[in-house]
Amino acid sequence: MHRIIAIDNAEDWLSIRSKGIGGSDAAAIIGKNPYKSNLDLWREKTGREKPDDVSNVDAVYYGKKAEEPLRQIFMLDYPQYVLKYEPFNIHCNSQYDFIRGTFDGELITKMTKFELGLLEIKTTEIRQQKDWQKWNNRVPDNYFCQVLHYFAIDTEYKFCKLKAQIKHYDENEEVIHTTKHYHFDREKFKEDIEYLINEEIKFNWYIENDKEPPLRLPEI
């Protein structure tokens, strides 16, 4: 059973969250984040640089405001689940306490197995046709890494549902929303989860020993 740090406000959550490796950090560690390298992340975690304040970025603001109604719509579409949502709780791996995450929701199946799973909500805006490829029967690599990271926190999470709302436009610049749902079974990604855990252990060693890691960048 993993450890839960119960927090009731955003300020404390931000402070404690920065001391571990979170879901949004996972892709950078293995060179799968197109916006941040593992070296950028290491500089932030060791206090050499301050993370960019993205709270006022339009896409981030939109995502935060949209999350709750999207969560409610998910529950209307999937009544077979019970939802538990604690906005500031930080979940920590029982063996590697630095592997942490705050979930968009925990799901419990009402019928048959009563399995425990996770809910992840994503919003994005697409302006170029090529960007649809990242969502064609898959999710972008950085989001997939985040799912694997949350699975790494505890083996009790058997599945993850990812709800994506994709905002795009017609020829008159009218807004169109395309909603996609993805299901991830933990059992299918055991090797990927183990790989990510090992890479996060290595990365944490570089942090604790104040040693600069070798640079890893996304493949072009």
Query: What CATH number does the domain located at 3-208 have?
Result: 3.90.320.10
**pLDDT for the residue 41:** 97
**pLDDT for the residue 220:** 53
- What are the CA-CA distances from residue 210 to residues 39, 45, 46, 76, 136 (Å)? 12, 10, 7, 48, 40
- Distance (Å, rounded) from C-alpha 111 to C-alpha 109? 6
**pLDDT for the residue 55:** 73
**pLDDT for the residue 53:** 75
- Could you tell me the pTM of the whole model? 0.94
- What are the CA-CA distances from residue 58 to residues 65, 79, 125 (Å)? 11, 32, 11
Count of C-beta atoms within a 10 Å radius of residue 184: 22
**pLDDT for the residue 52:** 81
- Distance (Å, rounded) from C-alpha 121 to C-alpha 54? 18
**How far apart are the two ends of the chain, measured CA to CA in Å?**
39
Averages of pLDDT over each 10 residues, the chain, 220 residues = 92 88 97 94 95 82 95 97 96 97 96 88 93 94 97 97 96 95 98 98 98 83
DSSP state, 52? P
**pLDDT for the residue 107:** 97
**pLDDT for the residue 28:** 97
**pLDDT for the residue 51:** 86
- Distance (Å, rounded) from C-alpha 181 to C-alpha 138? 10
